[in-house]
Structure 1
Amino acid sequence: MTEETLYWAHLAGVEGVGGAIFDQLQRRFGSIKRALEAPVDEVLEIPGLDERTAEAVCRAHLTLEGTQKKLEELVQKGIDVITKMDADYPPRFRDAVNPPPLIYQLGKMENADQNAVAIIGSRECGDVSARRAREYGKYFAEMGLSVVSGYAFGVDINGHIGAIEGGGRTVIIPGCGIDVFDLKPLVPSGIEDFESLKKHAVVMTEQPPASDWSARSSLARNRLVAAHAKTILVLEARLHSSTLDTVEHAQKLGRPIFTQLFGSVSEKVMGNEKLRREGAGEIQSVDDLKKIVAAVMESSDSGSASTDDDDLRR
């Protein structure tokens, strides 16, 4: 861990400082370390930074020791702290609105992870959708694609499990801190500890290590799921839902959207029906998933990722 990483992690803990402020401080002072050591009047020159937040930034160095101790604990647990300036920062996160200044990462990103399908949907989904998520996740894994999602109960968890059961990879972007990330939902896939998890997954979060899940953090992570995914597959969604929030982010990035079709339309799947009417790709069964694989391969051919097509057919 570098000294600059320490300062980035420390600044990230200052309330009111997000990615845009990080960028401006970096440009204005040349490094985050210099920004934290700058006088208040100079920090106040940053547009959008109020006096209270500027003072908090300038006082932050007084509590640096606590952050250093925490980061050392994370490193001992095998957790990487990666800033936006680092070469191993997730490249597709840069596509997101307000990319996170730094992330906490458990496990290593592999080539297949750059070719990810987001399997998303309701946390209160029906048994059929849960079973489909697992089946589809396994299919994509067998095709050499990774499955990305937000680790919510219901569709998300089952998509992750399916990818692991298929012997493939999954990218987990939870709406909580790395210290409170819970492995229990993955037990059905055979994952028993973090070492076994790292063989099949990478966990990435922008939330402070001890942060519990919240509605706000859940919405924030949606933009990262959308950015990392090359395509989005919605299995079950209501009209006003976190799932459609993720879709909205993905649409702005030009990601292809696919939606599961249902024989009858109920309130639980009105989000799917909305997407169908808007022209999303239609999926009825596992046989239709080849359309999603083709969309990912087309994206790779266009040069939007560094991974070779051979990685899609391993």
Structure 2
Amino acid sequence: MDMTHSKKNTTLEYWLALASVEGLGSVRIRRLIARFGSVQAIFEAELPEIARLPSFNPVLASRILTVSGNFPTFRERLDALENQDVRVMCLEDPDYPAPLKNLPDAPGILCRVGTLTGIGDRCVSIVGSQKPSIEGIELTLSLATQLALAGFTVVSGLATGIDTYAHSGALAGMGKTIGVVGTDLSSIYPGRNNPLAMKIYEHGCLFSEHPFPTAPSPGNLVQRNRIISGLSIATIVIEARKTGGAMHTARYAQRQDRSVLACRWDTGHTQREGPQELIGTGAFPFAPTEVDKVIDVLTHPERLETYVSGTISEQMGLFEE
């Protein structure tokens, strides 16, 4: 193998090379680094060394080593993204969002545009149906606005429905909001949300794990949900079918040991079965009229944790200092 590339490529270029390998994924990349010690050392390995690792094979190993011939292309791509004001970060970057960094499936590469550069510990995601009820829309706008006024950053997926109203409510509260997309940052989906994406750019930021041109696909949209939940201290589900995308976000949040809150509706239809199921598995329930309660437990996380653990009653928790 030509070893000359090892002296002139940056760490980010090595990460971008790994991100370009079809079928590799962030979990396997972590496994490679654990075995070889660094991203550069991966490209200096022999094919059998990679192929015999758990969940690897000769085909995947060959793909990894083959992309080492494409470093000029990766350099050009990084230059193009920089010219578009896209900040490209790898897991080793000090600016990589801390809430995501330790997740086992954290994206190896994360692209960001927008004015919000520091991602702190006051991010809350609001997710739900693409076809919400009027009551669901009103609750989302109220909740997002109140969260923004309370100093939280609202995270969502820039989809139609609840996502759109979550971002809009945060902006109405003069707050910050983060949109996580399942495409590359030049291909906002759905296209009708391009004006909203521009507002988020001005008052927050947009994230994507796709540094190369990427069309929307069901798989990518599901995968981006782990970033939405991973950036957030809590995920709030407004309305969702049991099989809806918002349920994926909630399950990612549970696996990431993040809090999940779900609206408890008095009247039932298919768009409200998801929150009810989450409440049945331990999500913090709140009524549509209890926005203040949500703000309270997010501002004082110990009350939420105490309630969910069942150690004392919710009523006692509300009287804690």
TM-score of the superposition, structure 2-length normalised? 0.83
2:85 counterpart of 1:83: no
Question: Could you tell me which amino acid in structure 2 is paired with residue 218 of structure 1?
Answer: L
Question: Could you tell me which amino acid in structure 2 is paired with residue 135 of structure 1?
Answer: S
With a CA cutoff of 8 Å and minimum separation of 6, indicate the structure with the bigger relative contact order.
1
2:100 counterpart of 1:107: no
Identical-residue share of aligned pairs (%):
23
The answer to whether the 8 Å contact 1:161/1:186 transfers is: no
Structure 1: unaligned runs, 5 residues or longer: 303-314
2:184 counterpart of 1:177: yes
Deviation at 1:299, TM superposition (A): 4.1
2:251 counterpart of 1:248: yes
SS of the equivalent of 1:88 reads: coil
Larger Rg: 2
Name which of 202, 210, 213 aligns with 1:199. 202
Question: Could you tell me which amino acid in structure 2 is paired with residue 290 of structure 1?
Answer: D
User: Residue 230 of structure 2 aligns with which residue?
Assistant: 227
Post-superposition CA distance 1:264-295 (Å, at most 9, x none): 11122111222334443333345x22333333
User: Residue 295 of structure 1 aligns with which residue?
Assistant: 297
Hey, which bits of structure 1, 4+ residues long, moved more than 6 A?
none
Q: What is the CA–CA distance in structure 2 between the aligned matches of 1:202 and 1:247, rounded to whole Å? A: 22
Q: What is the CA–CA distance in structure 2 between the aligned matches of 1:113 and 1:127, rounded to whole Å? A: 32
Post-superposition CA distance 1:121-164 (Å, at most 9, x none): 01122233223222221111111111111221100111011111
Question: Could you tell me which amino acid in structure 2 is paired with residue 176 of structure 1?
Answer: T
Question: Could you tell me which amino acid in structure 2 is paired with residue 217 of structure 1?
Answer: N
User: Residue 306 of structure 1 aligns with which residue?
Assistant: none
The answer to whether the 8 Å contact 1:231/1:292 transfers is: no
User: Residue 310 of structure 1 aligns with which residue?
Assistant: none
The answer to whether the 8 Å contact 2:112/2:205 transfers is: yes
2:272 counterpart of 1:272: no
Q: What is the CA–CA distance in structure 1 between the aligned matches of 2:120 and 2:153, rounded to whole Å? A: 5
Q: CA RMSD in A?
A: 2.5
User: Residue 64 of structure 1 aligns with which residue?
Assistant: 71
Q: What is the CA–CA distance in structure 1 between the aligned matches of 2:118 and 2:11, rounded to whole Å? A: 27
Post-superposition CA distance 1:225-280 (Å, at most 9, x none): 12211122111111222211211121233323222232311122111222334443
In the alignment of these two chains, the number of paired residues is 295
User: Residue 319 of structure 2 aligns with which residue?
Assistant: none
Deviation at 1:58, TM superposition (A): 1.0
TM-score of the superposition, structure 1-length normalised? 0.85
Deviation at 1:95, TM superposition (A): 4.7
User: Residue 209 of structure 1 aligns with which residue?
Assistant: 212
